Structure 1
C-alpha cells in the first residue's frame, strides 16, 4: 500500500512540477485504469478474431472462398481506419497475425481453387446431349413391294433371265417387306439417273427430316454452329451440306462438313466427328448430323451378280440428329452420348476390298459386295467389342473374359473364346439393318434374344436398308413401343466399307413417351410381324411385258403400300 501510495504521490508531484505537459493536466488514475481495460479488451477481441480467422482457413468451403475477397477488403479497411483503431500497436499486431496465420492461407486456398476450376473447364470435355432426332418417312406414292421391284427390273430389258432369277432369290430371302420406299426416278421409264433427280432425292430426305427436327426442338437454324452431312456415294458440287446451309440460311461462321465414301457406318462417324468438335473449342454449341443415301444415281443396270445385291436391299430414307454441349439443355435432352468406338480393318486387303464401287465389264458402275462380307463383318465386330467392352461391361464379365483369354494365350487351352454377355451392359440394341444375313450374324455372335433383335428386323422389314440412317429408324421403333426408360443404355452398331465397324453408346436421361412425330406413328401396333425371316415366293417377271410394268407402277402405291 505504501509503495502504491508513494508511486501515486510521486506521479502527482511530477505532474505539478516544471516538466508538466504543455497540453494541460494528464488524466486521473481512474481514466488511466479505464484506458488499460479498453486496451485489454481490444487485445482479447483481436485474439478472438485471429482464432476465428484461423478456424475459417481450416474449414474452407466454396461459399467461404467466394466471400473471401469481400471479407479481406473489409478487414483491411477497418485496420486502416483511424476511427475504428486508435492504437498503432494493435493495428500492427492484427496485421502481422492475420497475414501470417490466416490471410496467406485463405489467399492460397482461394487461388488454388480458382486455378483448378479454370483448368477443369478448359480441358475437361463437356457432356454431349441428344436433344432429339427425326426420320424421314417417304410418301406412299414411293412405296414398292418386292414383286413390284422385280417386275420393274424385268421391264427394263437390261437384265438377263439369270440375273432376274438371282434377284428373285435375293428378294425372297432379304427380310424386306412389301412397304419399303424407292425414289420415283428409279421406277420411271426409263429410269432417271440425272443430277437433277439425285438432288431432288437428297433435298427430300434432308429437308423433310430437318423440318421435323426443328419443329420438335424449337431450335433456330441460325443457332447451329456445326453441321455434318453424310452421303456415301453421291457427292455433288456444291456439297449436300452447302444445300442445307443455303436452304435454312444458317450463320456464316458455321462449321459445315460433308462426309462421303464411308459406307453405311458414316452416320456414327458423323456423330463421332460432331462429338469431337463439341468437346473441343466449340462450347455452348448446337450440332446437327444429317444422314442419308441417294439411290437414283447409284442403282446398277448390269448383270454382275455381286453388284445386283445392293439393288435388292437399299431403300429410300434419311435422318437428322440435334446434339448440344450446353449444360442448360440437359433437362430437355433425351439422351447423353457416353462412348463412341471406331474400328477400321482397312490394312487387311480382304477387308478393304469386300465393298467396292467399280465398273463391270460393260462399263456400268455399281457397288460390289464380296462373298467374304459376313466373315469380315464378324471379325470387325470382335475387334470393336474388345475395345468397347472394358468401357461398358460389369467387372464380373470382364474378369471372365480375361480368364478365358489367359487360358488360351498362356496355357494354350482349346476352349472357345468367352463372349461377354452384353445384355448386362445394354437394354436396347440398334444394329445396322444391312440385311437378314448381317442381323443373323450379329445375333449369333452376341447371343441376343428375339426381343433385342426386334427393332433391327422390323426396320429392315418396314423400311429396308436405308444405309447410315437405319439406326435412327430402329431407335424410333424403341420409342414408339414405349420401351425406353430413364437410365436405359442403347448400343448402336454400324458396318461400312473400308471395312469399318463403329459403335455409339447412349444413356436415356428420362423415360421417353411415344412421340407424335415418328416414322412408326399409326402403324406401330402392327409390329412385330412374325415370320419375317421365312423366305417368300415371287413370280418370275416377263421381260417383254413393258405394259404390265407400266400398270404395276400405277398400282404399286395403291395396292402394295400397306405393311
Structure 2
C-alpha cells in the first residue's frame, strides 16, 4: 500500500474542450461580433474625430450647417423607416374547445362505430384495430355526438350541430376572457377543410354575435391541416391595411360527414387519427393592446409543393371502388412532408437562425456540394438556438417521430405535440393551439421566448409562424378557464407505449 501511486487531482481547466462547448463559444462570438468590433473601431476613429471636432470649433458656421444637414438627413431616414415598417400584430388571447364527458370516445367504441353494420371485411376490422392501438391517442379524446349514435347519424343537420358546438364554445370563451365586444372585430377568418356549408362558418359567426356590417370576412376550405397558419398569415396581411382593428381567427375541422365507412386501407387511417376540436384566436394591430397581449407575430413562411405530382396527390378526398367518400393518404406522405419542411426551413432559417448557425451550414454546404467532399456530413442547424418552444402539428405518431429526428429536437421539445396527440388526437388545424396551451399550462412561457408553430396540409403545404412572448404566462392553476388543460395538467406528461391494446 505504501508504494501505491495516487493520481494527481484533475484540473477541470485542463480538460479538452468538447465540441458542444466550442460550438457554444463560436455562437456567442459570432452573435456578438458587432459589439466586439466597436472598441477597436472607436480606437481607430478617435484621432479623426478629434481633428474634426477641433476644425468645427474653429469654424462655428461650418459646425452649424453640418448640424442642420445631419439632423435633417437623420429625420428623413427615421420618417422613411417608420412609414415602411410593417404594423405589429399582437395575439391578445386564444381559446380551445374542450368537450364534456358526453363526447368522450374510447378507441374500442370508435372501432365498433366505424366497422359495425356488417359491411366490413375481417381484414378491415383487424387493420382498423391495429391503427387505433398504434395511434398514440388515449381513450379520453372526443368525437361528435353524431358519430356516437347507434347507428351514426351522418347528415348535414348533425354536421352543422357539430360545427356550432365547437365554434361557438371557443368564441364565447374568447370574448368572455378578453372583454372584447363582437362588434369591435373588424376582420374574421374561418377555416375548415372538409365541410363548406352555405351560409359559411364566417357567416354563422357574424349572425350569432351580431357583428358589424362592415366586418371583413373570409372562409377558407379544402386547405388541410395547415389552414390555421394560412388564416394567421392572411390576417397579418389584412392588419397592415386596416388600422386599429381586431381580427378573429377560428380554426376547426368537421368529422360528422367525413368518417370513412369503406374497406380501402389508405382511407381508414383518418378514422384512427382525427378527433373533435377547434380554436378561436384574437389578434390586434392596436398599439395599446400590446400591454395585455400574450405574443407578437414575428414571421410567417408558407411553402406550397403542389407543382409536384407526388406532393399534390399524397392527401386527397376521393371515392373508393364502392363509391364511398374518404380521405386517402399516400405511402409517400412522410417523404413529401420531409421535402416540404426542408423547403420551408430553407426560407425560414436565414431569417431566424443566428449568424453562427448560418456560417456553419454554409461551410458544410460548400465543402460537400462545391468541393465534393463526400465524407463531410451536411450540417443540421440547431433550431433550439432560435426557438425556446416548438408546436408541431400533431398529425400522427410517425410524423412527430420523423420531425423530432429531422430537426434534432429533444423529448422535452416534442412534449407539447405528443401530449396533444395523446389527449385530444389530431384536431387538424387547431392542434397547434392545444400545443401552445400546453406550454402555457406548464408555465414554460417566459417573457421574450420564441415559439415556432409548424403546420402540414394537403396540396402539399408546409407553413410556419414565429411568435415572441410579450410576458411570462402564468401557470394553469392561476389562469381563467380558456386553457383546455386547466384541470388535468398535473397528470402530464405521460409515457405513451408504442402499442396500447384495445380493452373491451
Task: Return the TM-score normalized by structure 1.
Answer: 0.75
Map 1:378-397; keep pairs closer than 5 Å. Answer: 378-397=338-357
Residues 1:419 and 2:380 are matched in the alignment: yes
- Aligned to 1:443, which of 404, 408, 411? 404
| Structure 1: segments with no counterpart, 5+ residues | 1-50, 61-104, 542-563
- Aligned to 2:217, which of 234, 237, 256? 256
SS at 1:358 equivalent: strand
| Corresponding residue number in structure 2 for 1:508 | 469
SS at 1:341 equivalent: strand
- Aligned to 1:299, which of 249, 259, 275? 259
| Corresponding residue number in structure 1 for 2:485 | 520
| Corresponding residue number in structure 2 for 1:235 | 196
Residues 1:152 and 2:113 are matched in the alignment: yes
| Corresponding residue number in structure 2 for 1:276 | 237
Q: Is the 8 A contact 1:435 1:465 kept in 2?
A: yes
Residues 1:325 and 2:285 are matched in the alignment: yes
Residues 1:466 and 2:427 are matched in the alignment: yes
Cα-to-partner distance string for 1:412-466 (whole Å, 9 max, x where unaligned):
1223321101111111100000000000010010111110110000000000000
Change (3 A) 1:231 1:121: same
- Supply the distance in 2 between the matched residues of 1:199 and 1:357 (Cα, whole angstroms): 20
Q: Is the 8 A contact 1:153 1:159 kept in 2?
A: no
Q: Is the 8 A contact 1:131 1:322 kept in 2?
A: yes
- Supply the distance in 2 between the matched residues of 1:133 and 1:53 (Cα, whole angstroms): 60
RMSD over aligned Cα atoms? 2.0
Question: Of the two, which has the highest radius of gyration?
Answer: 1
SS at 1:342 equivalent: strand
- Supply the distance in 2 between the matched residues of 1:133 and 1:163 (Cα, whole angstroms): 39
- Supply the distance in 1 between the matched residues of 2:341 and 2:402 (Cα, whole angstroms): 10
Map 1:110-189; keep pairs closer than 5 Å. Answer: 113=75, 119-189=80-150
Per-residue deviation, 1:55: 8.3
- Supply the distance in 2 between the matched residues of 1:430 and 1:323 (Cα, whole angstroms): 19
Residues 1:487 and 2:448 are matched in the alignment: yes
Q: Is the 8 A contact 2:177 2:480 kept in 1?
A: no
SS at 1:287 equivalent: strand
Residues 1:313 and 2:277 are matched in the alignment: no
| Structure 2: segments with no counterpart, 5+ residues | 1-58
- Supply the distance in 2 between the matched residues of 1:172 and 1:261 (Cα, whole angstroms): 29
Per-residue deviation, 1:387: 0.9
Per-residue deviation, 1:123: 3.4
| Corresponding residue number in structure 2 for 1:537 | 501
| Corresponding residue number in structure 1 for 2:51 | none
Cα-to-partner distance string for 1:395-422 (whole Å, 9 max, x where unaligned):
1111110011111221112233211011
Per-residue deviation, 1:59: 5.5
- Supply the distance in 1 between the matched residues of 2:219 and 2:90 (Cα, whole angstroms): 22
Change (3 A) 1:455 1:56: same
Change (3 A) 1:430 1:533: farther
Q: Is the 8 A contact 1:285 1:325 kept in 2?
A: yes
Per-residue deviation, 1:534: 2.0
Residues 1:404 and 2:364 are matched in the alignment: yes
Higher mean C-alpha deviation, range 145-154 or range 359-368: 145-154
- Supply the distance in 2 between the matched residues of 1:53 and 1:516 (Cα, whole angstroms): 65
- Supply the distance in 1 between the matched residues of 2:101 and 2:119 (Cα, whole angstroms): 27
Change (3 A) 1:478 1:237: same
Residues 1:365 and 2:325 are matched in the alignment: yes
